[in-house]
Structure 1
Amino acid sequence: MSVLAIDVGTTMIKSVVFDDQGGELAVSRLATEVLRRRPGWAEQDMDAVWNAVVHTVRTALSDVSDPVWLVTFTAQGDGAWLVDAAGRPTGPAILWSDGRAGEILTHWQRDGVLEEAFRRNGSLTCSGMPNAVFRWLAAHDPGRLEASGASLTAAGWLFLKLTGVTAVDESDASAPFLDHATGDYDPAVLELFGLTPYARLLPRVLGEHERIAELTGDAAALLGLPAGLPVVMAPYDIAATARGVGVVDPGQACGILGTTLCTEIVREDVDTGGEPTGITIAYRGRERVLRAFPTLNGAEVLGWAARTLGLAGPPDLAELAFTAPPGAGGVLFLPYLSPAGERAPFLDPRARGSFWGLSLEHGPADLARAVFDGLSLVVRDSLVAARTTVTELRLCGGGANSDAWCQLVADATGVPTARSGDTELGAKGAFLTGLVLTGAETDMRGAAEKYVRMRTRWHPDPERSRFYAGLYEELLRWRALARDAGWAAATRTAPEAATRTAPEAATRATPAAAPRTTATATTAPGAAAVPAPAKGDPGA
């Protein structure tokens, strides 16, 4: 008997079939498109996402003879996936990375609203969270809110399509509205953001052991599965990924080197002290929370750097970068390139990236190395903000395929790093969750010990760690200067540019992105960081 696990990412949808030992029997992947119809916007066609799920499921199952007894899934978090009373989309999903509500965020930050909300639930709002999206729609598209009956997440949308149940799990509900003490929405937080009239859009929050329903006949027919199979909604992707690498107990930590550079640490309690930053995710009922710092800047920065330097992609960027020494010959990179600014481990919708210290003596390798150094110091910045001691950082995401980057993160943070032997960690976390919620395994710790296999470990080099500790202080100093200067040298848009808008393209699962039905990790050559030899793909 086998388990089907689905992972609905932002740019890639994956379906994985696991055997009864937790091994990957088949993997199917299909790219989806993020619509950027206007500057700062990030949307997806909800039906296209569901169609891509159907395609990857059928493709993965085509190579497997063992019958499936369980369907479990995880998905990207935050955003607003609005549906009407009949469960039909009222427009494209507004994603977690959307920046249209940046000015609303700035006003909330100035007025102390964001800090007050953080002191209640340990989460700092970003522009792609539903509270900011609701306020933007109320001002610019009130008709859509009126036509909508519920605001789901990507996981809620998939649960609705699979089971007909309209709901959200605690992890997705955590930011910005959840009261961690009760496991339900906090009316005071809704009132704080002026959203009490829109409480009707918030679906029922399912507790740890409620996120299971049956596969409907319609969905079963589309997927090629028997109707009535149990369907488990696992925590959203960053939390499921933490489970997938065995991070389940207090003090354990993982880092996702992907579309987001997300550093996350398990805690027993909600930390509402210190500078407001990051989010707090319900992780196991009232017993555990996940302190998470999901950045807006990650692998897309690597893609940008590769294109800018005329390289084919992130693997070539890594190969070039690690021919340069640590510190890139004095070049420092602030990696805040998202149009939505940054949300963790600090919040500033206006944040922008920059290179510091350039001279005629620097070349492409120095720029490439500075990009990797800057992103790695973001991981250190997140660990500092977490205010929790960790002894190991388990790495995952496409970037973890690069030995060089795994070693660099160890050096830059001063914390040993490790990499799993699995390739699809979000799906693996959904697999573990499904086993526990159906009673096939008794608890998450036991399931992680049984099925999670760490493959490779890296230890910080003492000399390089001392160097990067100093470079981190430099990054903080230059970042403060950039922020004080308004981040960007040009604050106005040229008249001819102001009339241009991004072409509106239909979201679709592109046939060119053929799914793979083998569970082999893709690697590509990468040159050595001093002194560790390295090869790997630091992609999304």
Structure 2
Amino acid sequence: MSNGSGVVVGVDLGTSATKVVAFTPEGRAVADAAEHYDLSVPQPGYVEQDADEIYQAAMRALRRVIDSAHLRGHEVLAIGLSSAMHGVLCVDEHGEPLGPLITWMDRRSAEIAERWRAGGTALELYARTGAPMHPMLPLCKLRWLSEHEPQTFARAARFVSVKELLVYRWFGEWLIDHGSASGTGYFDVQRRAWDVRALELARVGAERLSTPASGLTRRTGIRAAIAGTLSLVRDVPLVLCSSDGALANVGVGAVDATTMAVTLGTSAAARVVTEQPCFDERGRTFCYALDDTRYVVGGPTSSAGGVLTHLLDLLLPDVEETERFARAVELAGSVTPGAGGVTCLPFLSGERAPYWDAELRGGFLGLDLAHDRRHLLRAAMESIVFALFAVARVVEERAGSVSALLLSGGLTHASLFRELVADVFGREAWLPDQPEASAFGAAAMAAVAVGVLSDLTAVRRLVHYPERIATDAQRHARYARAFARYEAAVAATTPLVHAVLS
């Protein structure tokens, strides 16, 4: 990037917070803000959010960052958007929400996903969409709405995400970038168009969805009221960009197949960028669009920070909520690798890659009277990394082996998790100097769209890695044995869980 005193702003509409950061042409953050919000779980399997709350949080965070950038004498050159994937919001003909946002964590459509998996429909669609069948997909959610809430389904003029809602409120146009569209389950990732058969299964026509567009699409002419609220001139371009996962790759510099982005946040993922679409014959990994010529291949897990938070509530109720994570890391760090033979299955909300089984459930195995909560905490943290390692092995099978792991996400702020990744994976793990990877990735893609950056690969010279964690051979060997126990536990308990739930 190079453009005088200008800054490019990245906005990441995340699951637990909206994060906004303004970056200089050299990739230096000059202003940042975050606004947090809650998830609602009105009944088992339902995980929802208030779309208006998220939108207002984004507006507040944006205003703070823009004001701060202006005070430092910076002009806003462009704004790039990142967003969590797979959410569905029903809106009326005026674009107003008819109910809550159904998030990626929601499992109410599990039976529909399983029906399509069992009947072969899942793999048929995957060959075109690159989206493994799971209740996270809007495809499954829309079919569920049509069957279980037909009145709401009929009233909805459109089915959109929070990112699409923001674009509509700013410009009066319904648009969805190819990266976000890839996560719906009804987008042909090679043709870059809605898939006719998938839309039939979702029981919607294309007229009730946003128009797919390149992630480099830019819009100017923000509505006057919005520009006034944000203290922006109306011709500042908004760039659609891509999904949060794909942009996290950009934000850590993992923009080809030689390095793997490893994200450990509310959820987790392992991803590489490829020049050609890359599918798995068993549908274990996703293949989504990144930009006009690149794809992001990988897999997400549901077993990460969100699950850990719940376990900490159960195991550390005597510790103040704001101090639980640090205390948990301290306690877990006092136990040797392998957690004294305790194995945790972290599937408190089912699991996505590589199993794509919403009915998986969590538990601890191997407990005896010598164990205490320190061992449970250690086993839980190890299991989060084991779950991600199981994904990474499949990604490397399909896209080739990588030389380094580039880290992002809140859990990697703890040195224990950074060491776990390096030791479990048996690869050097690099911690970049951009803590908000998705926001930085959005800013970088926006910079490409407005000509401030030549290409996404140029981001490599803007990202530095002040910490590189080498693998410890002895710990790696111990984790290999612990991972084997983990895999055996998953294989042994999966039939039992399905039998109990049926």
Provide TM-score, normalisation by structure 1.
0.86
Moved more, 427-436 or 157-166: 157-166
2:53 is the alignment partner of 1:48:
yes
| Per-residue CA distance 1:142-175 (angstroms, 9 max, x = gap) | 2222222222222212222222221100011113
2:348 is aligned, of 337, 349, 359, to 337
Deviations 1:258-308 (A, max 9, x none): 0111111112222333321232110122x3211121112210122122222
Deviations 1:450-509 (A, max 9, x none): 322222111111222222223222211111111011268x649xxxxxxxxxxxxxxxxx
Is the counterpart of residue 293 in structure 1 residue 304 in structure 2? no
Q: Which residue of 1 aligns with 2:358?
A: 349
Match for residue 281 of structure 1? 288
Cα distance change on mapping 1:321 and 1:178 into 2, 3 Å: same
Shift in Å at residue 248 of structure 1?
A: 1.0
Larger relative contact order (CA 8 Å, sep ≥ 6): 1
1:303-361 deviations in Å (ceiling 9; x for gaps):
122222224422211111011000011001111011xx111121111100111100001
Supply the distance in 1 between the matched residues of 2:449 and 2:90 (Cα, whole angstroms). Answer: 28
1:370 aligns with 2:366: no
Any gaps of 5 or more consecutive residues in structure 2?
1-5
SS at match of 2:379: helix
Residues 85, 302 of structure 1: CA spacing in aligned structure 2 closer, same or farther, 3 A cutoff?
A: same
AA aligned opposite 1:242: N
Q: In structure 2, what residue type is equivalent to 1:150?
A: R
Range with greater deviation from structure 2 (225-234 or 468-477): 468-477
1:302 aligns with 2:308: yes
Q: Is the 8 A contact 2:128 2:190 kept in 1?
A: no
| 2:94 corresponding residue in structure 1 | 86
Out of 319, 322, 325, the position equivalent to 1:314 is: 325
Letter in 1 for 2:60: H
| 1:418-465 superposed Cα distances (whole Å, 9 cap, x missing partner) | 11112211110011001101111111111x123222221111112222
Moved beyond 6 Å, runs of 4+: none
Which of 99, 112, 117 is matched with 2:120 structurally? 112
**Aligned twin of 2:3:** none
Name the aligned partner's letter for residue 73 of structure 1.
L
Asked whether the equivalents of residues 77 and 154 of structure 1 are also in contact (C-alpha less than 8 Å), the reply is no
- Residue matched to 2:30: 25
SS of alignment partner, residue 284 of structure 1: coil
SS in 2 for 1:393: strand
Segments of 5+ residues of structure 1 without an aligned counterpart are 493-540
Q: Distance in 1 between matches of 2:279 and 2:447?
A: 32
Alignment check: 8 A CA contact 2:130 2:182 kept = no
* Aligned residue type for 2:348: L
Measure the CA separation in 2 of the matches of 1:82 and 1:292. 29
Alignment pair present for 1:479 and 2:486: no
Aligned partner of 1:495 in structure 2 is: none
User: Which of 458, 463, 473 matches 2:474?
Assistant: 463
CA distance in 2, matches of 1:90, 1:148: 7
What are the equivalent positions in structure 2 for 1:88-237 lying under 5 Å apart? 88-175=96-183, 176-191=185-200, 194-195=201-202, 197-237=204-244
Partner SS, residue 454 of structure 1: coil
Number of residue pairs matched by the alignment? 485
Name the SS for the 1:120 alignment partner: helix
How far apart, CA to CA, are the structure 2 residues paired with 1:148 and 1:243?
Answer: 35
Q: Give distance in 1, aligned partners of 2:79 and 2:215.
A: 17
Cα distance in structure 2, aligned partners of 1:435 and 1:55: 23
Separation (CA, whole Å) in 1 of partners of 2:412 and 2:91: 36
* Distance across 2 between alignment mates of 1:108 and 1:417: 38
On the 8 A contact 2:117/2:133 being kept in 1, the answer is no
Residue pair 2:143, 2:203 contacting (<8 A) in 1 also: no
| Residue identity in the other structure for 1:221 | G
1:63 maps to which residue? 68
Counterparts in 2 of 1:493-508, with a 5 A limit?
none
Deviation at 1:211, TM superposition (A): 4.4
| Alpha-carbon distance between aligned partners in 1 of 2:366 and 2:454, rounded to the nearest angstrom | 55
1:236-264 CA-partner distances (Å, limit 9, x unpaired): 11111111001111232111110111111
How far apart are the structure 1 equivalents of 2:251 and 2:221? 24
| 2:382 partner letter | D
Give CA-to-partner distance per residue, 1:8-62, whole Å, 9 cap, x none: 1111111212223221112111111212122211112111111111111222233
* Residue type of the alignment partner of 1:361: A
Q: Any idea what SS the aligned residue of 2:406 has? A: strand
Q: For 1:271 and 1:22, locate their aligned partners in 2 and report how far apart those are by CA, in whole Å.
A: 31
Helix, strand or coil at the partner of 1:486: helix
Q: Sequence identity of aligned pairs in percent?
A: 27
Q: CA deviation at 1:225?
A: 1.3
* Residues 186 and 194 in structure 2, CA contact (< 8 A), matched pair in contact too: yes
Classify 1:20/1:272 alpha carbon distance in 2 versus 1 (closer, same or farther; 3 Å): closer
Q: Distance in 2 between matches of 1:348 and 1:402?
A: 29
What TM-score do the two structures reach when normalised by structure 2?
A: 0.93
CA distance in 1, matches of 2:404, 2:75: 38
Q: Indicate the larger mover: 387-396 or 208-217.
A: 208-217
**Range moving further from structure 2, 103-112 or 117-126:** 117-126
